[in-house]
Chains A and B, each alone.
Chain A
Amino acid sequence: MSVKSTISHISRRGVLLGGAAAVAASAGLRSRPAYAAPDKVKVQFMYPVGVSGDINKLVSTMISKFNAAHEKIEVEAIYAGSYDNTEQKVITALGVGDPPATWLPINSALQTFLGLDALADVTDKAKKTDIYQDFIPGFLETAVSDGKLYGLPFQPSTPVLYFNADAFKAAGIAKPPVTWDELLEVSKALTVRENGELKRWGLTIGGGWHDWIFECFCRQNALVPWTKDKVLFDKPEAVDALEFWVKLVKAGVMPPASTWQGSANDFMAGRTAMLYHSTGSLTNLRTSSPFKVDVAFMPKNKTFGACQGGGPIMIAKKQSDAAIEASWTFAKWMTSTDVQSQWGRDTGYLAVRKSSWETPEMLAYLKEVPQAKVALEQSAYAGAFLQVPGYHKVREYLKSALDRTLAGEIKPDAALKEAADNSNREIQRLLRRRS
């Protein structure tokens, strides 16, 4: 017994020593604390990578340019994963009361961050500049709630209709479909079956984000399927849109399910002749397809309609006035005419300023890649995407409703009613908790 007790003393001491060593080691390895020189305001910028592996290099180049041009401000760019990862990282930092100065979420997260009381209101600052005049209104609107501006749109995208121009030519179709009816007809003409075995779909709607594309279809039926505190998926316009999707599936021209990456791969492999996908995919689809890729407006029903992915640069509320001012200077610079023109050409995102589209470089680019212009023209009909509290869950409810309907498990109206009820209950729960 005595042996036992001595040894356990030793091991206990060992543990303590080990602990002390670990703390000492961590203190030694600790990176330098985040103090900047006293005259410099340090601004963190957390951003996701949506479209290209080179985005972090593009962003770092932009940041070093900004830092070189601004003596009093030092911006640190922090890559934060996907949109969801970025949101998690920012919310975690907000949770411990230490948010980054600026970040770039998807625009749907606006109400989420407002719910956390995290955003600086920049309406007055913006009114002193040409922002309200020069920004494309549909883009600016994605950062507005109750008439107040909570950020500057930086990288908007919308879904567009991609089509295989070679397949169109071979089928003798002169121009892309303009209405839903034409879309159905063209899809039928482009679907190829040999001995009952499918060789090519006429049309694929990129899955995973099909709720985003579904909102576009609702908007084409003249319905914005949400307000800031509820969703309207059960309105007749939405049901009609989903019935149209069912019609496409029943006609055998569209697969009932797909994935976001898989649908792009199918398009590049010629397994679908048309594809609803993000403008952000333009460069990838154009350079990776062995045929000519063209782009058209999403066909209209009552009207043209689209809604936006991508997001605005948001500024944290809980920081010093100097830091907010520095963040604002940074956000303004990132959305200035030339920077946006360059960013749009490098990535495929849509430049947010009217003046950016008139720069000589942009005009030359549009001559070379006229497809890029289509999304801009379509954005005249575009609005924000599902800006409701708890949009993550709402998206899942809607996607599940769409999937089950297309799989033939449930009728469109019942599915959308259920999704709307579940979503509204979730939104109400969040709103109650907020108040």
Chain B
Amino acid sequence: MATLQDPIELSAPATSRGTLLALRTALRRNWLHFVLLPLMLFWISPLAWIIITSLKSRTEVFDPNAGILPAVLQWGNYPAAMAVAPFGTYLINSVLATGGILVCELITITLAAYAFARLNFPGKNILFTLFLLQIMFPIYATFLTNFVTVRELGILNSLPALIVPFVASGYGTFMLRQAFRQVPTELADAARLDGCGHLGILWHVYLPLVKPTLIAFSIIAVVTHWNDYMWPLLVTNSESVRTLPIGLGLLAKSDSGADWTRLMAATVVVVSPLLLFFVIFQRRFVDSFMHAGLK
């Protein structure tokens, strides 16, 4: 069981590890820099365009004669964009909702993945298939039923309404189960001999070993829910419980073409918390990927 490795088990961590390996090789052989540098510039160009556009005047954005950089930096775009909606409140709500979802998800997927990977109980395979099925449903297909549930819980138009439908994740359970199955059972057995119960084994043996998977999943979950637009729009009415993407929606107007300068200024504000977060914790992310003792 433990040594069984089907190809899917490797795929998720393998891609991130692949890039890192590539990075390490790049450091060793300098010529690769010449390949990577243009790619990096290519990757960073949308971000650069967003920042440059956020500092332009409206006529400069599409005037071919205006040049790439703004003639005068229009810092005024930022307060003008922020004045459209209470972005401070939205930011707090985004952090609370995304953080709440992440914490709940990590707890539920860890427990569920452990059960599916290491316990035997009747109906396990059917249940696991159902979990996998959940991945295949696009989120829009379950909007109405989720809406009904949230309404019956009496939490419409509140922060919990943004969190409750996402506290479990079929995808995360699947990802983590595959990671758990890669951990040799001998380690778990040794821990059991030392007197650990299931939760102890999970905490002391499994979780430290699957940290890269947990981090990879967290990144995906945070980015998904940070950017979610339709569900928060559907279940919230008051500005006090709304999130950042709804504020952005106000600037991406449909009838008259977007208000590019202010939209980009607001975009910078909306993405910077995430960017900052990744820049600050980059070292930790990379370390945990490199020190993962999984082969």
Contact = CB atoms under 8 A, between A and B. Distances in A.
Contacts of B104: 22
A98 interface: yes
Interface stretch (B174-182, B218-226, B244-252): B244-252
Interface in A389-411: none
A281 B148 CA distance: 38
Contact of B256 (A96, A270, A280, A289): A280
A265 B257 contact: yes
Interface in A254-308: 260-261, 264-266, 268-271, 277-278, 280-285, 287-290
6 contacts: A31-B238, A31-B240, A51-B255, A52-B259, A261-B258, A280-B256
A29 B62 contact: no
A4 B160 CA distance: 34
Contact of A88 (B111, B151, B234, B263): B234
B255 A268 contact: no
A180 interface: no
B158 A31 contact: yes
A32 to B, nearest CB: 10
A53 B256 contact: no
A26 B164 contact: yes
A423 B259 CA distance: 34
Which residue among B61, B251, B253 has the maximum number of chain A CB atoms within 10 Å of its CB?
Answer: B253
Contacts of B199: 7, 10-11
A288 B253 contact: no
B234 A89 contact: yes
Interface string A86-118: 001100100110100000000000000000000
A8 interface: yes
B255 A50 contact: yes
Given A98-B151, A288-B59, A260 B257 contact: yes
B7 interface: no
Contacts of A222: none
Contacts of B240: 31
Contact of B62 (A3, A76, A157, A288): A288
Contacts of A266: 62
B150 to A, nearest CB: 10
Contacts of A18: 107
Interface string B120-147: 0000000000000000000000011001
Given A49-B249, A81-B249, A95-B144, A56 B84 contact: yes
Nearest to B59: A290
Contacts of B230: 81, 85, 88
Contacts of B58: 287-288
Contacts of A284: 256-257, 259
B192 interface: yes
Contact of A54 (B84, B119, B159, B258): B84
B253 A50 contact: yes
A81 B233 contact: yes
A44 interface: yes
B61 A288 contact: yes
B197 interface: yes
Contact of B198 (A8, A22, A269, A271): A8
B11 interface: no
A82 interface: yes
Given A85-B230, A92-B147, A288-B61, A31 B157 contact: yes
Given A92-B234, A96-B147, A26 B257 contact: no
Interface residues of B, number: 55
Which 7 pairs, one residue from A and one from B, show the smallest C-beta to C-beta distance? A50-B255, A264-B257, A280-B255, A26-B160, A269-B62, A281-B256, A7-B197
Contacts of A62: none
Contacts, number: 152
Contacts of A15: 111
Nearest to A46: B237
Interface in A43-92: 44, 48-57, 76, 78-83, 85, 88-89, 92
Given A11-B198, A26-B155, A96 B148 contact: yes
Given A11-B199, A88-B230, A92-B147, 20 more contacts: A26-B160, A29-B155, A31-B238, A53-B250, A53-B251, A53-B262, A54-B84, A57-B84, A76-B237, A79-B246, A81-B249, A82-B254, A96-B148, A268-B59, A268-B62, A270-B63, A281-B256, A284-B257, A288-B59, A290-B65
A348 interface: yes
A129 interface: no
Interface string B62-91: 111110000000000000010111000000
A51 B256 contact: yes
A142 to B, nearest CB: 16
A18 B214 CA distance: 21
A96 to B, nearest CB: 6
A109 to B, nearest CB: 14
A10 B199 CA distance: 9
Given A85-B230, A92-B234, A52 B253 contact: yes
A287 B61 CA distance: 12
Contacts of A85: 230, 233, 249
B154 interface: yes
Interface in A16-46: 18, 22, 25-26, 29-31, 44
Contacts of B109: none
A291 to B, nearest CB: 9
Contacts of A25: 160
Interface in B28-51: none
Interface string A297-341: 000000000000110000000000000000000000000000000
Contacts of B119: 4, 8
Contacts of B258: 261
Nearest to B259: A53
B286 interface: no
B85 A56 contact: yes
A30 B154 contact: yes
Given A260-B257, A288-B58, A53 B84 contact: yes
A281 B255 contact: yes
B258 to A, nearest CB: 6
B241 interface: yes
A6 interface: yes
Nearest to B236: A78
Contact of B111 (A11, A309, A310): A11
A128 B149 CA distance: 43
B190 interface: no
B153 interface: yes
A52 B257 CA distance: 9
